[in-house]
Amino acid sequence: MRELENGRNEISEEASGFSREKEMGTVAMEVTNYSGETADLKKIACMEVYPFSFEDKNSEGNVFGRMKEFLPYWKNLGINTIWLAPVYPSPRKDMGYDIADYEAIDERFGTMEEFDSFVSEVHNLGQKVLMDLVLNHTSTEHEWFKKALAGDPKYRSFYYFTDNPQEGWHNFFDDQSAWAPVPDHEGEFYLHSFHEKQADLRWFDENGELNYELLAEFEKVIDFWTKEHNVDGFRLDVPQAIDKDFSNPERSVQTLMFGDGSQSSLVVEKLFANRSDLLTTIETFDLTDDDSIMSRYAGPGKPIQFAMNAWLAQQPESSMLEAFSESLDRTPYLMIAIQSHDTSRKDTSNEVLKALLAKNPQAVCFYHGEEIGLEDPSVEEFSDKAFFESDAQADMQLKAKIAAKEQEEGRALSQSEIAEITAGIRQGARANNRAPLSAYGGKLEEQANNPSSSYSALRSAISSWMNNSN
């Protein structure tokens, strides 16, 4: 996408607070300027932005600069909140969700100054900025884990170490053991509910007592971003994985994400109970008929304003509207989210989304590209090696499936058989909807100029929803 001519600079030239038409590239848009003051939002229209998708393979950094070019389009759509997927330093074994430092910016995205400039530009548009906060695990490259391996008792208490791992505990990514051997410590293992390079944080000791030193570290993280870098709130990643019942001899993929929230809700309460000024939303997997898992975290009297039910977003599109509608009837604090970085892209902008907005929810979240009905981008130009290096979950699943098939057959698989398995894994891998979006900008600009487009239909639906006071 060509740079939107004068877009991000001219928006902040006038501090008048009125609506005016501003030429963004070739698109005349209604832009309201708030002179750096975020609005007091009554309804939340959030856009999840995955920074990896905006990386330019021909240059390093400046991802925040490239994302700025899209802000006027999202603002014009009716978006008032930007949720940034992880932007922290990371070895990228899980595409950023393996965090190596909670108080820094990955240099591949840009500098802290460029991040601050992005936040300032979002605020100039009267919008809020949320960051992703992962509470269940860190990268094994994190300084905490390194100090734990060096024997520091404080940081050893931050992780799960044992010389007697439970064989029935499996990780989420490939359904194999959730215990990995500790480097240079023969006979010792650490817990990883996801990738083996993502070590689970130990929020509770064997007596069920909360680790207040770990809590204090995350309180500092929250203060760092909100008080020093003007972030408005957080989206909390997979909190239910915090809940661990070691009396249970098995922890399968099916049970890993579906904890009852008894432990994690306490962690969330301790972190956010006195931060009512922040805008917060939380990812849940609630399979109950009464939304009781979500209600542990969010709603009246709870520290979190809105909860996303990722389980609903994984339902077939034919039943998605009914599932979301039933939950919304029970749970006003449900944040509608059909697509995310964890789902395949589906063209739902004109049908399911409009129907759900008509039900007048308090909060909705889109995934960038959803506003134009974008399909998973083609990643055919990526070699298998490059593709699976970009998606550790797919890589682990591929290796596990090949190993299982070879054990079943009692022989080594042929190259054609491996290729068939590889193609199947690639087709459903999450890397497809996180890949660089080279065509996104052009399609977005084209649709913004077309009154019959998905973008225009969604803009109209969002406007009607925002104006619905019932």
Residue range 163-174, pLDDT digits in tens: 999 999 999 888
Q: Which domain holds residue 134?
A: 7-140+201-379+428-466
- pLDDT per residue as tens digits for the range 329-358: 999 999 999 988 888 776 554 678 889 999
The Cα 51–Cα 67 span in angstroms is 8
Distance CA 203, CA 259 (A): 15
Q: Does residue 136 carry a pLDDT above 70?
A: yes
Domain identity same for 177 and 298: no
Share above pLDDT 90 across residues of the chain, in percent, rounded to a whole number: 61
Between CA 73 and CA 441 the distance in angstroms is: 10
345 occurs within a structural domain? yes
* Predicted local confidence at residue 36, as pLDDT: 46
Find the mean pLDDT for residues 60-88: 94
Domain count, the chain: 3
Average pLDDT, the chain: 86
Flag whether pLDDT at 30 surpasses 60.
no
How many angstroms separate the CA atoms of 225 and 110, rounded?
16
pLDDT of residue 381: 55
User: How confident is the model at residue 416, as a pLDDT?
Assistant: 87
Q: Specify the pLDDT at position 421.
A: 87
CA distance 64 to 439: 18
State which amino acid sits at residue 144: W
| One domain, residues 253 and 354 | yes
Question: Is 2 inside a domain boundary?
Answer: no
373 located within any domain: yes
Q: What is the C-alpha R_g of the chain?
A: 22
- Which residue, 152, 171, 200, sits at the end of a domain? 200
> Does residue 262 share a domain with residue 366?
yes
pLDDT value at residue 386 = 66
Phi/psi of residue 31, nearest 5 degrees? -125, 125
Region 367-381 average pLDDT:
76
Identify the H or E element spanning 76: helix 71-77
pLDDT at 377: 60
On whether both 325 and 193 belong to a single domain, the answer is no
pLDDT (tens digit per residue) in 219-275 = 999 999 999 999 999 999 999 999 999 988 999 887 888 889 999 999 999 999 999
The pLDDT-based confidence of 281 (bands split at 50, 70, 90) is: very high
Same domain, 320 and 419: no
Output the pTM of the full model: 0.86
Instruction: Give the mean pLDDT of 321-326.
Output: 94
Mean pLDDT in residue range 50-69: 83
Interacting residues of 219 by C-beta distance below 8 A, sequence separation 6+: 271
Q: How far apart are CA 306 and CA 45, in angstroms?
A: 12
224 and 360 share a domain?
A: yes
Residue 376 per-residue DSSP state: P
Same domain (yes/no): 163, 276: no
Domain presence at residue 363: yes
1 assigned to some structural domain = no
SS3 54: helix
| CATH code where residue 196 lies | 3.90.400.10
Instruction: Give the pair of three-digit tokens for residue 357.
Output: 């907005």
Q: Which of 151, 166, 200 is the last residue of a domain?
A: 200
Are 379 and 432 in contact, with CB atoms under 8 Å apart? yes
Q: Do 86 and 120 sit in the same domain of this protein? A: yes
Residue 210: phi and psi, rounded to 5, are -70, 140
Q: Are residues 105 and 248 in the same domain?
A: yes
Angstrom distance (rounded) from CA 446 to CA 245: 52
Distance from the Cα of residue 257 to its chain's centroid? 15
Q: Are residues 281 and 176 in the same domain?
A: no
The two tokens of residue 412 are 């080594």
State how far the Cα of 175 lies from the Cα of 312, in Å rounded to an integer.
22
